[in-house]
Amino acid sequence: MLVDTYGRVATDLRVSLTDRCNLRCTYCMPEEGLQWLGKPELLTDEEIVRLVGIAVTRLGVTEVRFTGGEPLLRRGLVDLVRRCAALAPRPRLSLTTNGIGLARTAGALAEAGLDRVNVSLDTLRPEVFKTLTRRDRHQDVLDGLAAAHAAGLTPVKVNTVLMPGLNEDEAPELLAWALAEGYELRFIEQMPLDAQHGWTREGMITAGDVLASLRTRFRLSPEGDRERGSAPAERWLVDGGPGRVGVIGSVTRPFCAACDRTRLTADGQVRTCLFATEESDLRSALRSGADDEEIARRWRLAMWGKKAGSGLDDPAFLQPTRPMSAIGG
Protein backbone atom coordinates (compact mmCIF):
# COMPACT_ATOMS: atom_id res chain seq x y z
CA MET A 1 0.00 0.00 0.00
CA LEU A 2 1.00 3.65 -0.35
CA VAL A 3 1.26 4.69 3.29
CA ASP A 4 2.87 7.82 4.71
CA THR A 5 4.38 8.59 8.09
CA TYR A 6 1.07 10.14 9.25
CA GLY A 7 -0.78 6.86 8.61
CA ARG A 8 -2.66 8.07 5.54
CA VAL A 9 -3.16 5.55 2.75
CA ALA A 10 -3.27 6.74 -0.85
CA THR A 11 -5.86 4.86 -2.90
CA ASP A 12 -6.79 7.64 -5.33
CA LEU A 13 -4.42 8.21 -8.26
CA ARG A 14 -4.57 11.35 -10.44
CA VAL A 15 -2.85 10.86 -13.77
CA SER A 16 -2.06 13.90 -15.90
CA LEU A 17 -2.14 13.00 -19.59
CA THR A 18 -0.85 16.28 -20.99
CA ASP A 19 0.09 19.77 -19.81
CA ARG A 20 -1.48 21.36 -22.90
CA CYS A 21 -4.91 22.93 -23.08
CA ASN A 22 -7.33 24.52 -25.52
CA LEU A 23 -8.50 27.10 -22.94
CA ARG A 24 -6.50 29.68 -21.01
CA CYS A 25 -8.40 30.06 -17.73
CA THR A 26 -7.02 33.12 -15.99
CA TYR A 27 -6.57 31.34 -12.63
CA CYS A 28 -4.58 28.57 -14.35
CA MET A 29 -2.53 29.80 -17.32
CA PRO A 30 -1.21 33.00 -18.85
CA GLU A 31 -2.54 33.99 -22.25
CA GLU A 32 0.69 32.88 -23.90
CA GLY A 33 4.29 32.03 -23.20
CA LEU A 34 3.87 28.79 -21.27
CA GLN A 35 6.46 26.16 -22.23
CA TRP A 36 4.99 22.73 -23.01
CA LEU A 37 6.60 19.41 -22.22
CA GLY A 38 8.30 17.87 -25.26
CA LYS A 39 7.02 14.62 -26.76
CA PRO A 40 10.03 12.56 -25.61
CA GLU A 41 9.42 13.71 -22.04
CA LEU A 42 5.79 12.56 -22.02
CA LEU A 43 4.93 9.09 -20.88
CA THR A 44 3.74 6.92 -23.74
CA ASP A 45 0.36 5.15 -23.54
CA GLU A 46 2.26 1.94 -22.86
CA GLU A 47 4.11 3.52 -19.93
CA ILE A 48 0.93 4.99 -18.47
CA VAL A 49 -0.87 1.66 -18.58
CA ARG A 50 2.11 -0.03 -16.96
CA LEU A 51 2.28 2.52 -14.12
CA VAL A 52 -1.47 2.44 -13.52
CA GLY A 53 -1.22 -1.36 -13.52
CA ILE A 54 1.51 -1.27 -10.87
CA ALA A 55 -0.56 1.17 -8.79
CA VAL A 56 -3.64 -1.03 -8.98
CA THR A 57 -2.10 -4.48 -8.59
CA ARG A 58 0.72 -3.75 -6.12
CA LEU A 59 -0.06 -0.48 -4.36
CA GLY A 60 -3.74 -0.64 -3.47
CA VAL A 61 -4.98 2.12 -5.78
CA THR A 62 -8.72 1.77 -6.41
CA GLU A 63 -9.60 5.09 -8.10
CA VAL A 64 -7.91 6.49 -11.18
CA ARG A 65 -8.71 9.98 -12.46
CA PHE A 66 -7.33 11.23 -15.76
CA THR A 67 -6.67 14.94 -15.91
CA GLY A 68 -4.25 17.51 -17.32
CA GLY A 69 -3.93 20.13 -18.93
CA GLU A 70 -6.87 19.02 -21.00
CA PRO A 71 -7.00 15.19 -21.11
CA LEU A 72 -9.37 15.11 -24.10
CA LEU A 73 -6.47 16.50 -26.16
CA ARG A 74 -4.60 13.24 -25.66
CA ARG A 75 -4.90 11.08 -28.72
CA GLY A 76 -5.56 7.50 -27.73
CA LEU A 77 -7.54 8.46 -24.60
CA VAL A 78 -10.35 6.02 -25.37
CA ASP A 79 -7.87 3.19 -25.74
CA LEU A 80 -6.08 4.20 -22.54
CA VAL A 81 -9.39 4.03 -20.70
CA ARG A 82 -10.15 0.64 -22.22
CA ARG A 83 -6.78 -0.77 -21.19
CA CYS A 84 -7.05 0.58 -17.64
CA ALA A 85 -10.59 -0.79 -17.35
CA ALA A 86 -9.23 -4.23 -18.25
CA LEU A 87 -6.87 -4.25 -15.25
CA ALA A 88 -7.61 -6.62 -12.40
CA PRO A 89 -8.71 -5.51 -9.90
CA ARG A 90 -10.54 -2.99 -12.06
CA PRO A 91 -10.11 0.56 -10.74
CA ARG A 92 -12.95 3.07 -10.87
CA LEU A 93 -12.15 5.43 -13.75
CA SER A 94 -13.02 9.08 -14.09
CA LEU A 95 -11.96 12.15 -16.03
CA THR A 96 -11.61 15.83 -15.17
CA THR A 97 -12.11 17.87 -18.32
CA ASN A 98 -13.11 21.30 -19.57
CA GLY A 99 -15.73 19.48 -21.65
CA ILE A 100 -14.61 20.72 -25.07
CA GLY A 101 -14.91 17.79 -27.45
CA LEU A 102 -16.77 15.69 -24.91
CA ALA A 103 -19.93 15.85 -27.02
CA ARG A 104 -18.05 13.79 -29.63
CA THR A 105 -16.30 11.33 -27.32
CA ALA A 106 -18.57 10.77 -24.30
CA GLY A 107 -20.23 7.68 -25.82
CA ALA A 108 -16.92 6.04 -26.79
CA LEU A 109 -15.40 6.83 -23.37
CA ALA A 110 -18.37 5.29 -21.57
CA GLU A 111 -18.24 2.25 -23.82
CA ALA A 112 -14.49 1.88 -23.12
CA GLY A 113 -15.18 1.75 -19.38
CA LEU A 114 -15.03 5.33 -18.07
CA ASP A 115 -17.32 5.56 -15.04
CA ARG A 116 -17.70 9.30 -14.47
CA VAL A 117 -16.67 12.80 -15.47
CA ASN A 118 -16.03 16.09 -13.71
CA VAL A 119 -16.54 18.98 -16.10
CA SER A 120 -15.21 22.41 -15.24
CA LEU A 121 -17.58 25.28 -15.89
CA ASP A 122 -17.36 28.60 -14.07
CA THR A 123 -20.19 30.60 -15.57
CA LEU A 124 -23.53 30.42 -17.38
CA ARG A 125 -22.78 33.66 -19.24
CA PRO A 126 -21.01 33.20 -22.59
CA GLU A 127 -19.35 36.63 -22.37
CA VAL A 128 -17.94 35.93 -18.91
CA PHE A 129 -16.77 32.52 -20.13
CA LYS A 130 -14.88 34.24 -22.92
CA THR A 131 -13.17 36.60 -20.49
CA LEU A 132 -12.38 33.89 -17.95
CA THR A 133 -11.06 31.26 -20.36
CA ARG A 134 -9.93 33.63 -23.15
CA ARG A 135 -11.80 31.43 -25.64
CA ASP A 136 -15.34 31.59 -27.04
CA ARG A 137 -16.31 27.95 -26.35
CA HIS A 138 -19.15 28.15 -23.82
CA GLN A 139 -21.65 26.19 -25.92
CA ASP A 140 -19.12 23.38 -26.49
CA VAL A 141 -18.90 22.85 -22.73
CA LEU A 142 -22.68 22.80 -22.32
CA ASP A 143 -22.93 20.29 -25.18
CA GLY A 144 -20.19 18.17 -23.60
CA LEU A 145 -22.01 18.11 -20.28
CA ALA A 146 -25.27 17.04 -21.88
CA ALA A 147 -23.51 14.29 -23.84
CA ALA A 148 -21.76 12.99 -20.70
CA HIS A 149 -25.09 12.84 -18.89
CA ALA A 150 -26.76 11.07 -21.81
CA ALA A 151 -23.86 8.57 -22.04
CA GLY A 152 -24.35 7.62 -18.38
CA LEU A 153 -21.04 9.08 -17.13
CA THR A 154 -22.85 9.87 -13.91
CA PRO A 155 -22.99 11.46 -11.47
CA VAL A 156 -21.75 14.28 -13.70
CA LYS A 157 -19.97 16.72 -11.42
CA VAL A 158 -19.35 20.34 -12.34
CA ASN A 159 -16.29 22.12 -10.91
CA THR A 160 -16.56 25.88 -10.49
CA VAL A 161 -13.97 28.44 -9.42
CA LEU A 162 -15.37 31.86 -8.54
CA MET A 163 -13.25 34.89 -9.40
CA PRO A 164 -13.74 38.39 -8.02
CA GLY A 165 -15.31 40.83 -10.43
CA LEU A 166 -16.04 38.11 -13.00
CA ASN A 167 -18.42 35.39 -11.82
CA GLU A 168 -18.44 35.90 -8.04
CA ASP A 169 -22.16 36.71 -8.05
CA GLU A 170 -23.15 33.58 -9.99
CA ALA A 171 -23.15 30.93 -7.26
CA PRO A 172 -26.96 30.75 -6.71
CA GLU A 173 -27.68 30.86 -10.45
CA LEU A 174 -25.17 28.06 -11.11
CA LEU A 175 -26.65 25.92 -8.36
CA ALA A 176 -30.23 26.35 -9.62
CA TRP A 177 -29.05 25.38 -13.10
CA ALA A 178 -27.06 22.34 -11.90
CA LEU A 179 -29.97 21.05 -9.84
CA ALA A 180 -32.32 21.41 -12.80
CA GLU A 181 -29.90 19.59 -15.14
CA GLY A 182 -29.10 16.81 -12.65
CA TYR A 183 -25.41 17.76 -12.25
CA GLU A 184 -23.60 17.84 -8.91
CA LEU A 185 -22.00 21.26 -8.48
CA ARG A 186 -18.81 21.77 -6.48
CA PHE A 187 -17.20 25.13 -5.84
CA ILE A 188 -13.40 25.06 -5.55
CA GLU A 189 -11.43 27.81 -3.85
CA GLN A 190 -8.82 29.39 -6.07
CA MET A 191 -5.39 28.06 -5.12
CA PRO A 192 -1.90 29.48 -5.64
CA LEU A 193 -1.13 27.17 -8.54
CA ASP A 194 -1.45 29.47 -11.54
CA ALA A 195 1.51 29.55 -13.89
CA GLN A 196 1.76 33.35 -13.65
CA HIS A 197 1.79 33.41 -9.81
CA GLY A 198 -1.06 35.93 -9.64
CA TRP A 199 -2.95 34.42 -6.67
CA THR A 200 -3.42 36.44 -3.49
CA ARG A 201 -5.24 35.37 -0.34
CA GLU A 202 -7.06 38.71 -0.22
CA GLY A 203 -8.17 38.36 -3.84
CA MET A 204 -9.82 34.96 -3.54
CA ILE A 205 -13.46 34.04 -2.96
CA THR A 206 -13.52 31.79 0.10
CA ALA A 207 -15.69 28.76 0.87
CA GLY A 208 -17.39 30.99 3.47
CA ASP A 209 -18.21 33.60 0.80
CA VAL A 210 -19.69 30.88 -1.46
CA LEU A 211 -21.88 29.50 1.31
CA ALA A 212 -23.11 32.98 2.28
CA SER A 213 -23.99 33.69 -1.34
CA LEU A 214 -25.85 30.36 -1.76
CA ARG A 215 -27.79 30.95 1.45
CA THR A 216 -29.36 34.07 0.00
CA ARG A 217 -31.46 31.70 -2.13
CA PHE A 218 -31.22 28.17 -0.70
CA ARG A 219 -31.43 26.43 2.65
CA LEU A 220 -28.23 24.42 3.15
CA SER A 221 -27.85 21.68 5.72
CA PRO A 222 -24.58 19.80 6.24
CA GLU A 223 -24.53 16.22 5.06
CA GLY A 224 -22.40 15.47 8.12
CA ASP A 225 -18.66 15.18 8.68
CA ARG A 226 -18.69 11.43 8.32
CA GLU A 227 -19.92 11.76 4.74
CA ARG A 228 -16.90 13.88 3.84
CA GLY A 229 -14.51 10.98 4.61
CA SER A 230 -11.40 11.53 2.55
CA ALA A 231 -13.33 13.57 -0.03
CA PRO A 232 -12.23 17.18 -0.17
CA ALA A 233 -15.73 18.54 -0.73
CA GLU A 234 -17.88 19.46 2.23
CA ARG A 235 -21.31 18.51 0.98
CA TRP A 236 -24.54 20.28 1.74
CA LEU A 237 -28.13 19.22 1.15
CA VAL A 238 -30.02 21.90 -0.71
CA ASP A 239 -33.50 22.76 0.61
CA GLY A 240 -33.63 19.44 2.49
CA GLY A 241 -32.29 17.37 -0.44
CA PRO A 242 -31.98 15.24 -2.42
CA GLY A 243 -30.10 17.94 -4.37
CA ARG A 244 -26.61 18.63 -3.06
CA VAL A 245 -23.76 21.05 -3.47
CA GLY A 246 -20.09 20.66 -2.58
CA VAL A 247 -17.63 23.29 -1.44
CA ILE A 248 -13.91 22.54 -1.60
CA GLY A 249 -12.08 24.90 0.71
CA SER A 250 -8.56 23.81 -0.16
CA VAL A 251 -7.15 27.06 1.24
CA THR A 252 -9.43 28.03 4.13
CA ARG A 253 -10.77 24.59 5.11
CA PRO A 254 -7.97 22.17 4.22
CA PHE A 255 -8.54 18.41 4.27
CA CYS A 256 -4.89 17.31 4.31
CA ALA A 257 -5.33 15.05 7.37
CA ALA A 258 -7.69 12.84 5.38
CA CYS A 259 -5.91 13.06 2.02
CA ASP A 260 -5.83 9.78 0.07
CA ARG A 261 -4.20 11.02 -3.15
CA THR A 262 -1.11 10.24 -5.10
CA ARG A 263 -0.31 11.98 -8.37
CA LEU A 264 1.50 11.16 -11.56
CA THR A 265 2.51 13.96 -13.93
CA ALA A 266 2.43 13.59 -17.71
CA ASP A 267 6.23 13.23 -17.68
CA GLY A 268 6.20 10.41 -15.15
CA GLN A 269 6.94 12.14 -11.85
CA VAL A 270 5.17 11.06 -8.66
CA ARG A 271 3.89 13.93 -6.54
CA THR A 272 2.52 13.40 -3.07
CA CYS A 273 0.52 16.65 -3.07
CA LEU A 274 -0.54 19.48 -5.40
CA PHE A 275 1.71 21.71 -3.31
CA ALA A 276 4.68 19.34 -3.06
CA THR A 277 8.03 20.86 -3.94
CA GLU A 278 9.67 17.50 -4.57
CA GLU A 279 8.95 14.81 -7.14
CA SER A 280 10.11 11.24 -7.71
CA ASP A 281 11.12 10.27 -11.19
CA LEU A 282 9.43 7.04 -12.26
CA ARG A 283 9.97 7.70 -15.96
CA SER A 284 13.74 7.26 -15.68
CA ALA A 285 13.21 4.07 -13.72
CA LEU A 286 10.83 2.78 -16.40
CA ARG A 287 13.18 3.68 -19.21
CA SER A 288 16.25 2.20 -17.56
CA GLY A 289 14.62 -1.21 -17.31
CA ALA A 290 13.41 -1.30 -13.69
CA ASP A 291 11.00 -4.14 -13.00
CA ASP A 292 7.51 -3.62 -11.56
CA GLU A 293 8.57 -4.31 -7.98
CA GLU A 294 11.39 -1.76 -8.17
CA ILE A 295 8.98 0.88 -9.50
CA ALA A 296 6.47 0.04 -6.77
CA ARG A 297 9.27 0.37 -4.20
CA ARG A 298 10.17 3.87 -5.48
CA TRP A 299 6.52 4.91 -5.44
CA ARG A 300 6.09 3.70 -1.83
CA LEU A 301 9.26 5.53 -0.83
CA ALA A 302 8.00 8.76 -2.43
CA MET A 303 4.69 8.55 -0.55
CA TRP A 304 6.47 7.84 2.74
CA GLY A 305 7.91 11.36 2.43
CA LYS A 306 4.46 13.01 2.07
CA LYS A 307 4.21 16.13 4.23
CA ALA A 308 1.47 16.60 6.82
CA GLY A 309 -0.15 19.47 4.96
CA SER A 310 -0.03 21.84 2.00
CA GLY A 311 2.03 24.41 3.92
CA LEU A 312 -0.26 27.20 2.69
CA ASP A 313 -0.51 28.71 6.14
CA ASP A 314 3.23 28.66 6.67
CA PRO A 315 4.71 32.16 6.25
CA ALA A 316 7.56 30.48 4.34
CA PHE A 317 5.11 28.90 1.84
CA LEU A 318 6.54 28.72 -1.66
CA GLN A 319 4.33 28.06 -4.65
CA PRO A 320 5.49 24.89 -6.46
CA THR A 321 7.44 25.53 -9.64
CA ARG A 322 5.03 23.47 -11.71
CA PRO A 323 1.66 25.11 -12.32
CA MET A 324 -1.63 23.24 -11.86
CA SER A 325 -1.85 22.55 -15.60
CA ALA A 326 1.45 20.63 -15.51
CA ILE A 327 0.76 18.83 -12.23
CA GLY A 328 -2.73 17.60 -13.07
CA GLY A 329 -5.59 19.22 -11.20
**Contact residues for ligand SAM, defined by CB under 6 A:** 21, 27-28, 67-68, 70, 96-98, 120, 159, 161, 188, 190-191, 193-194, 324-325, 329
Of these partners, ligand SF4, ligand SAM, none, which one is at the site of residue 193 (CB under 5 to 8 Å by kind)? ligand SAM
Smaller CB separation from ligand SAM, 159 or 269 = 159
Of these partners, ligand SF4, ligand SAM, none, which one is at the site of residue 194 (CB under 5 to 8 Å by kind)? ligand SAM
Query: 219: which strand partners?
Result: none
Smaller CB separation from ligand SAM, 205 or 282 = 205
In this structure, are residues 9 and 59 in contact, taking their beta carbons and an 8 Å threshold? no
Shortest reach from residue 19's CB to ligand SF4, in Å:
8
d(CA 248, CA 190): 10
> Among residue numbers 115 through 144, which ones bind ligand SF4 (CB under 6 A)?
120
Assign 256 to helix, strand or coil.
Answer: helix
| Main-chain phi, psi angles of 76, to 5 degrees | 85, 10
d(CA 217, CA 205): 18
Smaller CB separation from ligand SF4, 69 or 249 = 69
Residue in 9, 24, 154, 177 binding ligand SF4, rule: CB under 6 A: 24
Rg (C-alpha) for the chain, rounded Å, is 19
> Among residue numbers 181 through 220, which ones bind ligand SF4 (CB under 6 A)?
none
| Main-chain phi, psi angles of 246, to 5 degrees | -115, 150
Answer positive or negative: Cα dihedral of 65, 131, 213, 202.
positive
Query: Which residue is nearest to ligand SAM, using beta carbons?
Result: 329
Rama region for 80: left / alpha / beta (φ>0; ψ in -120 to 50; rest): alpha
Of these partners, ligand SAM, ligand SF4, none, which one is at the site of residue 190 (CB under 5 to 8 Å by kind)? ligand SAM
Task: State yes or no: residue 298 binds ligand SF4 (CB under 6 A).
Answer: no
d(CA 282, CA 265): 10
- Helix (H) / strand (E) element for 12: namely strand 12-16
Distance of CA 1 to the CA centre of its chain: 22
Of these partners, ligand SF4, ligand SAM, none, which one is at the site of residue 297 (CB under 5 to 8 Å by kind)? none
Answer positive or negative: Cα dihedral of 276, 56, 96, 237.
negative
- One-letter identity of residue 163: M
In this structure, are residues 132 and 163 in contact, taking their beta carbons and an 8 Å threshold? yes
Of these partners, ligand SF4, ligand SAM, none, which one is at the site of residue 29 (CB under 5 to 8 Å by kind)? ligand SF4
Task: State yes or no: residue 325 binds ligand SF4 (CB under 6 A).
Answer: yes
Shortest reach from residue 252's CB to ligand SAM, in Å:
13
> In the chain, what is the straight-line distance between the N-terminal and C-terminal CA atoms, in Å?
23
Task: State yes or no: residue 265 binds ligand SF4 (CB under 6 A).
Answer: no
Size of the site for ligand SF4 (CB under 6 A): 12
Of these partners, ligand SF4, ligand SAM, none, which one is at the site of residue 24 (CB under 5 to 8 Å by kind)? ligand SF4
Burial classification of residue 221, based on how many CB atoms lie within 10 Å of its CB (0-12 exposed, 13-18 middle, 19 or more buried):
exposed
Of these partners, ligand SAM, ligand SF4, none, which one is at the site of residue 78 (CB under 5 to 8 Å by kind)? none
Task: State yes or no: residue 276 binds ligand SF4 (CB under 6 A).
Answer: no
Residue in 8, 13, 42, 69 binding ligand SF4, rule: CB under 6 A: 69
Q: Give me the residues that bind ligand SF4 (CB under 6 A), please.
A: 21, 23-25, 28-29, 68-70, 98, 120, 325
